[in-house]
Amino acid sequence: MHNLKKLALTILIILSATILSIKAIKNIRNALNLVNIYKNQERALRKQYIQLIKKQLELEYVSSPLYKEEQLRNSLNYYKKGEKVIIFTKPLQELPPPQITGAQQTTNLWEKILLY
């Protein structure tokens, strides 16, 4: 009878430990899932932050007097002193592929592209 009580107590302890272990494993799994969710949200927030910074820089540039001046000059076809205007008369697809072997040939190629 004494051995039977010990056996029942041992089985009860083992069952209790098993149930507690299962609960602990579930809690650990839930914690890991929360960590993954947190990391995904953090990545998404970082991407949004980077996009926000880019938009802010773009807004600062578009709001600058230099940008406004450039847009106005471009719309009116005015150019600053010292600026050079390049007008392409042929689409670049029609030009033959360059075969360059030296500096002089490079200069000749640019002359052909820009002046003819």
Q: Do 93 and 42 share a structural domain? A: no
Q: Do 66 and 25 share a structural domain? A: yes
For 17, half-sphere exposure in the C-beta direction (CA atoms, 13 angstrom radius) is: 6
Q: Do 76 and 26 share a structural domain? A: yes
Cα–Cα–Cα angle for 96, 98, 99, rounded to 5 degrees:
125
Residue 85 pLDDT exceeds 80? no
At 101, the amino acid letter reads T
Q: Do 53 and 16 share a structural domain? A: yes
| Residues whose CB falls within 8 Å of the CB of residue 78, separated by 6 or more in sequence, listed in order | 72
Q: Do 91 and 72 share a structural domain? A: no
Q: Do 41 and 19 share a structural domain? A: yes
Rounded CA separation 74/68 (Å) = 10
* pLDDT value of position 92: 62
CB 113 within 8 A of CB 86: no
**Domain range spanning residue 113?**
86-116
Q: Do 9 and 44 share a structural domain? A: yes
The DSSP result for 43-70, as a single string, is HHHHHHHHHHHHHHHHHHHHHSHHHHHH
* pLDDT value of position 24: 92
Q: Do 16 and 67 share a structural domain? A: yes
15-65 tens-digit pLDDT: 999 999 999 999 999 999 999 999 999 999 999 999 999 999 999 988 888
Q: Do 111 and 74 share a structural domain? A: no
Q: Do 100 and 75 share a structural domain? A: no
More confident residue, 9 or 78: 9
* pLDDT value of position 36: 93
Written as six digits, the tokens of 108 are: 């000749």
Rounded CA separation 116/101 (Å) = 21
| Residues whose CB falls within 8 Å of the CB of residue 99, separated by 6 or more in sequence, listed in order | 105
* pLDDT value of position 30: 92
Long-range contacts of 96-102 (CB under 8 A, 24+ apart): none
State how many domains the chain has: 2
